[in-house]
Amino acid sequence: MTDREEGIMKMYDALEPDEKRLFSVSNVNHLAWSLVVLLLVLAGWLATALVNAENQRNALMTRQCQDRVFKEEVDKTCLLTVHSREHWWQHLSYALGHLSPEK
């Protein structure tokens, strides 16, 4: 191979992609972000369950779901649909603020 051919080959070798830098490497820790998302979903689910439980507890304490025929009994279908406070965040704030039952 002559010097001219070697120069042309070197020129074409420089045009080849660098295989070490061809693929981008992500520095994001996907496991940590997946864990954060999972914990946020779990916290949301627990908050929803707490709001529902506090809604039913407040309805029972204020006697909003008494049975119409038997006054000492509870109407269970009413417990599923009752809204004992105006907003869900009122249930959540009350439940988080009152951790022990009232005497």
pLDDT digit string (tens) for 33-60?
Answer: 999 999 999 999 999 999 999 999 999 9
How far apart are the C-alpha atoms of 96 and 31, rounded to whole Å?
Answer: 30
Instruction: Write down the pLDDT at residue 36.
Output: 97
Q: Over 80: is that where the pLDDT of 27 sits?
A: no
- CA 95, CA 36: separation in Å to the nearest integer? 24
Q: What gap in Å lies between CA 67 and CA 62, rounded to an integer?
A: 13
Q: Which has the higher per-residue pLDDT, 6 or 60?
A: 60
97, 89 contact by CB (below 8 A): no
The reported pTM is 0.68
pLDDT tens, position by position, 73-99: 998 999 999 999 999 999 999 999 998
Q: According to the model, what pLDDT value does residue 43 have? A: 98
